Chains A and B, each alone.
Chain A
Amino acid sequence: MDSALVSDQAAYLPATVRVTAKILVVGHFAVGKTTYVSSLSEIRPLRTEETMTEAGALTDDLRGTEDKTTTTVAMDFGRLTLSESLVLYLFGTPGQQRFTRLWRDMTVGALGALVLADTRRLEQSFPVMAVLEEHGLPYAVAVNHFEGAPRFAEPEVREALDLLPETPLVTCDARDRISSTHALIALVQYLQARQTPPAPFPGGGRVGGGLGYPLRSSACPN
């Protein structure tokens, strides 16, 4: 084991921090997740790995890895202090191996996810988006622009990714802090918009006790 004092390299949080939040940064292999987390993180991004055990044996999800008895699932993460009391953690992960405890740890309580995509292989984003949908985790898509990668108009990318009309789609440069921050802002604005429930029926307001349907006791003819 490393005998250097690990506390020397740690960046501690101020005692005023009371609230922590987490957002996932997901995408296929080599799409720029680690770069993205590094651009935004105030600390040297950290990495942890977990060896998959019993869960792997019960799923048929590990295409191409059937011969392995163990699989390593890794995440890179970074930290952004947003105010004296609030810290946001970004967890970057491939998003496969969704039955692992690490994946559960990442998704439970997460505000949402940013899906990084590459226009040269948009189809590789499908499995990632499917996993998020399965978990009911809201997401926005950020196309990470690579040098020499084709640029498509937004409607084309939207169609290729089969996005819902409300799902935000932005372009970013994962190497750039400002650009990456804008992508995160687009996600959070979307999450915020989802918090405001739409009217249950066109033209109708919210009525009653928040049950999701209008209570029409006296106005109802029967």
Chain B
Amino acid sequence: MVRPYVVTDGRAYPTRNTFDLVTLVMAHPDRPLTGLSPEKRRVMELCLGGALSVAEVAGYLELPVSVTKVLLSDLVDSGHISARAPIPPAELPEVQLLQEVLDGLRARL
């Protein structure tokens, strides 16, 4: 077991503060993986498969969310990862979101 902050070079905070637990992230397949740390390679390997939330990346890699955010943030900076932020409330009013959630839940009954 590696101590969590070893994989982030001792940093506890990400370079950008745009990640929510449910922000979706995707990897760019054309980016070279050379020079990436083993942990960042693992993030890339996972994210190359498709879109996942930040929470899922942390869960699959068995890393704390805080560490995952630091790694993802670096990978966004280096152009390896794109983040698709949750749609801000201004674009999708909560009333509409709640209705869609409700419809979706009812459809599962």
Q: Give the segment of B28-36, B43-51, B73-81 that binds chain A.
A: B43-51
CB of B56 to closest CB in A, whole Å: 6
CB of B19 to closest CB in A, whole Å: 9
Chain A interface size, as a band, is 35 or more
CA distance A189 to B105 in the complex (A): 11
Q: Is the CB of A19 within 8 A of B92?
A: yes
Q: Is the CB of B58 within 8 A of A48?
A: yes
CA distance A13 to B52 in the complex (A): 6
Q: Is the CB of B105 within 8 A of A181?
A: yes
CA distance A21 to B20 in the complex (A): 11
State which residues 163-193 of A face B: CB under 8 Å: 177-178, 181-182, 184-185, 188-189, 191-192
Q: Is the CB of A86 within 8 A of B99?
A: no
Q: Give the segment of A4-12, A120-128, A143-151, A204-212 that binds chain B.
A: A4-12
Residue of A6, A51, A89 near B21 (CB, 8 A) is A89
Q: Chain A contacts of B9 at CB under 8 A?
A: none
Q: A88 at the A/B interface (Cβ < 8 Å)?
A: yes
Question: Could you mark each residue 41-70 of chain A with 1 if its beta carbon is under 8 Å from any beta carbon of chain B, else 0?
Answer: 001001111110100000000000000000
Task: Count B-side interface residues using an 8 Å CB cutoff.
Answer: 49
Q: Is the CB of B86 within 8 A of A13?
A: no
Q: Give the segment of A27-35, A99-107, A153-161, A213-221 that binds chain B.
A: A99-107
Q: Chain A contacts of B104 at CB under 8 A?
A: 80, 82-83, 86, 88
CA distance A46 to B104 in the complex (A): 22
Residue of B21, B48, B64, B92 near A22 (CB, 8 A) is B21
Q: Chain A contacts of B24 at CB under 8 A?
A: 13, 17, 20
Q: Is the CB of B51 within 8 A of A17?
A: yes
Q: Is the CB of A46 within 8 A of B92?
A: no
CB of B97 to closest CB in A, whole Å: 6
Tell whether A89 pairs with B101 under 8 Å between CB atoms, given A51-B64, A181-B108: no
CB of B105 to closest CB in A, whole Å: 5
CA distance A80 to B49 in the complex (A): 19
Residue of A91, A105, A188 near B102 (CB, 8 A) is A188
Residue of B50, B58, B60 near A13 (CB, 8 A) is B50
Q: Chain A contacts of B106 at CB under 8 A?
A: 185
Using CB atoms, name the residue of chain A closest to B100: A86
Q: Is the CB of B95 within 8 A of A192?
A: yes
Q: Chain B contacts of A13 at CB under 8 A?
A: 24, 50-53
Max chain A Cβ within 10 angstroms of own Cβ: one of B50, B59, B103, B106: B59
Q: Which residues of B come within 8 Å of A, CB atoms?
A: 2, 4, 12, 20-24, 38, 42, 45-46, 48-53, 55-56, 58-66, 68, 84, 86-87, 92, 94-95, 97-109
6 new A-B pairs (CB below 8 Å) besides A13-B53, A48-B65? A12-B51, A13-B50, A86-B104, A91-B55, A184-B105, A192-B102
